[in-house]
């Protein structure tokens, strides 16, 4: 029997959760090794992603930011909800999928090396908000997206995967974002698969991929 790497995944969302859905589908289709999505957490009660997850039988929980005394205090609630669902700092995986809150250094450290994000630019170009608009305003002819491990600095962690797309002369922010999003849906599940299979090694700020 082949070695299994069972891995419980927690996904943090704030909106529609299209990257969450791409990952759920990949897991359901058996394209992500021995992984299961254990829980989806949102900081917004109305996030459509919560409904989408529930409909697919995945526990989906709103973690209310109100009442949290600080960013770290809120993040401890997140961590507790993750760990209650079996996503432990020692062997789980936490995925940001359109999660719009900054995470505290405490949380990033706790899940360090087991915390990924996808960003709609070819980092290090255009970190931060509105990356697609930044790209259009800068006039680049090639844009793209990046899956990276999360470090305390925004959009600066070791890069797992990237994909490039052409910028067309007629592009608006919306058409470019849609073209990039299609690539996010492709490379994010791929990055998760590589992680779950134990094929990613962080060396300094580089991610070495075991190609087998």
> Contact letters (x/-) for a copy of itself, 145-184, by CB under 8 A?
-x-----------xxxxxxx----x---------------
- Return all residues near 24 (Cβ < 8 A) that are at least 6 apart: 37, 52, 53, 56, 58
Neighbours of 169 (CB within 10 A): 5
Buried b (16+ CB within 10 A) or exposed e, 82-97: bbebebebeebbbbbb
Q: Least distance from C-beta 134 to a copy of itself, angstroms?
A: 9
Residue 184: alpha-carbon gap to chain centroid: 10
Region of 13-21, 38-46, 63-71, 133-141 interacting with a copy of itself (CB under 8 A): 133-141
In angstroms and rounded to an integer, the radius of gyration of the C-alpha atoms of the chain is 17
Our answer to whether residue 119 is catalytic in this structure is yes
Q: Out of 54, 64, 137, 153, point to the residue binding a copy of itself (CB under 8 A).
A: 137
Q: Does 129 bind a copy of itself (CB under 8 A)?
A: no
The residues in 182-211 that bind a copy of itself, with binding defined as CB under 8 A, are 204-209, 211
Q: Copy the structure tokens of residue 134.
A: 């930044």
* C-beta of 114 vs 148, nearer to a copy of itself: 148
Min dist CB 49 to a copy of itself, Å, is: 27
Any idea which residues carry the catalytic annotation?
A: 119
Binding site for a copy of itself (CB under 8 A): 122-126, 136-142, 144, 146, 158-164, 169, 204-209, 211
């Amino acid at each position: 029997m082949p070695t299994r790497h069972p891995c419980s995944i927690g996904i943090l969302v704030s909106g529609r959760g299209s990257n969450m859905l791409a990952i759920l589908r990949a897991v359901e289709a058996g394209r992500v090794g021995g992984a299961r999505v254990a829980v989806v957490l949102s900081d917004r009660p109305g996030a459509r992603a919560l409904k989408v997850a529930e409909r697919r039988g995945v526990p989906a929980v709103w973690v209310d930011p109100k009442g949290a005394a600080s960013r770290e205090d809120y993040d401890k609630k997140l961590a507790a909800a993750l760990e209650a669902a079996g996503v432990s700092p020692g062997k789980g995986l936490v995925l940001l999928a359109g999660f719009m809150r900054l995470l505290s250094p405490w949380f990033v450290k706790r899940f360090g090396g087991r915390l990924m994000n996808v960003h709609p630019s070819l980092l290090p170009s255009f970190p931060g908000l509105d990356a697609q608009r930044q790209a259009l305003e800068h006039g680049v002819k090639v844009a793209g997206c990046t899956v990276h491990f999360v470090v305390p600095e925004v959009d600066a962690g070791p890069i797992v995967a990237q994909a490039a797309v052409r910028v067309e002369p007629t592009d608006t922010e919306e058409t470019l974002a849609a073209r990039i999003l299609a690539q996010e849906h492709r490379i994010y599940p791929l990055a998760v698969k590589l992680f779950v299979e134990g094929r990613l090694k962080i060396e300094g700020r580089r991610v070495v991929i075991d190609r087998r």
